[in-house]
Amino acid sequence: MLRYWLCFASAVCLAGHCGANYCRDANLCCPGRDSSCVVQKAHQNAIIEDLTDKPCYCDHACLKLGDCCPDFKATCGVVDCVVSSWSEWSECDSDCGAGSMVRTRRVAQAAEHGGRRCPALLQRRACHDHRGCRERSDLPRREMAQILPGALSVSRHSNETVDIRKNLRLRNPDDPESNSHREYCIQFEVIKSSKACHLDSDYKALREGGKVSVLCETAALKRGLEWRCEGHGVAGHATRFSALVAPHCHGKWTRLQHVPRDGEPCRTPDFIFV
């Protein structure tokens, strides 16, 4: 880009820069944007036939405008950032389900005097792994069961217009008829529950010492958990529960037994998994 070089041609030539080709020869190095900081390679009245005869600049604006003299960076101490090559991708940070993996690179030379800035030093991408799912037998112990009243097993609606579990079908797009055989029921003994559970008629069964049945329906089965419901507990260990539409209702329970879908407790379950 010619920055109105004809306007400065006379002044530059009088300064003795005509015929020079480099910032070093013209003894020029200017901060910021300075259109007079120019090397005029040809006389002001000369007809430029060769593109190499066009003026070049020795101000720092030339880095953005792309019209620097060939030796501008070396003469003015401009240093671009230099980075190393990317490292190998790390292992997935989850060995059971969705996670992420990263790779990095380091700054080998920092930018100086207006040089090109450093690019990103870290990249991240998604990953999904199931290798550790079978090995992590303690996973269910750390899960919190999200539950809804068992009455919603039939209606699935909180009112006439809202399907409170419509998002569950998206999580498991399989045909419900094809995996309904995976449904099951869990019986729990409640060992602790918050006051909010006692005050809500839908969750009053969640009292210390009480036994409740929770149905795992097709809509709540999760492929990433090997077709089970999240939070279905571990026999002999206390795990946590939380009421989906009554967030202040929560507590702990102990899994008593796993019951087939056609078992007695599953016919009229107290709650359903979400």
Distance CA 173, CA 224 (A): 13
Is the CB of residue 146 less than 8 Å from the CB of residue 242? yes
Residue 169 above 80 pLDDT? no
Q: Lowest mean pLDDT: which of 102-116, 127-141, 177-191, 253-267?
A: 127-141
- For residue 60, give the nearest of 23, 14, 87, 85 by alpha carbon: 23
Looking from the CA of 255 toward its CB, the CA atoms found within 13 Å total 21
Who wins on pLDDT, 6 or 168?
168
Separation between Cα atoms, residue 65 and residue 68, nearest integer Å:
8
Rounded mean pLDDT, 8-18: 42
| Residue 46 pLDDT greater than 60, yes or no | no
Q: What is the pLDDT of residue 242?
A: 94
pLDDT at 113: 78
Query: What's the pLDDT band for 3 if we cut at 50, 70, 90?
Result: very low
Average pLDDT over residues 220-249: 87
Identify which of 74, 64, 85 has the alpha carbon closest to the alpha carbon of residue 112: 74
The residue-averaged pLDDT of 71-77 equals 83
Please check whether residue 244 is in contact with residue 210, taking contact to mean a CB–CB distance below 8 angstroms: no
Tokens coding 41: 């390679």
pLDDT higher than threshold 60 for residue 250: yes
- The per-residue pLDDT of the chain, averaged, comes to 78
Q: What is the pLDDT of residue 215?
A: 93
Distance set, CA 169 to CA 106, 174, 219 (Å):
45, 8, 6
Global pTM value: 0.47
Per-residue pLDDT for 273 more than 70? yes
3-class secondary-structure state, position 208: coil
Domains and CATH numbers, the chain: 5-76 (no CATH), 82-129 (2.20.100.10), 139-273 (no CATH)
More confident residue, 71 or 270: 270
Q: Tell me what pLDDT residue 214 has.
A: 94
Mean pLDDT of 178-187: 80
Range with the largest mean pLDDT of 133-142, 174-183, 231-240: 231-240
Quote the pLDDT of residue 134. 56
Which pLDDT score, from 0 to 100, does residue 178 have?
54
Provide the 10 A C-beta neighbour count for residue 16: 10
The pLDDT assigned to 30 comes to 84
Range 94-120 average pLDDT? 84
User: What residue has token string 């060939």?
Assistant: 70
Neighbours of 41 (CB within 10 A): 21
Highest average pLDDT, of 7-16, 33-42, 120-129, 208-217, comes from 208-217
pLDDT at position 50, please? Answer: 59
Mean pLDDT of the 93-117 span: 84
Nearest Cα to 269, choosing from 153, 119, 137? 153
pLDDT in tens, 115-158: 888 999 999 888 877 766 655 556 778 889 999 998 887 645 44
Can you give the pLDDT at residue 25? 81
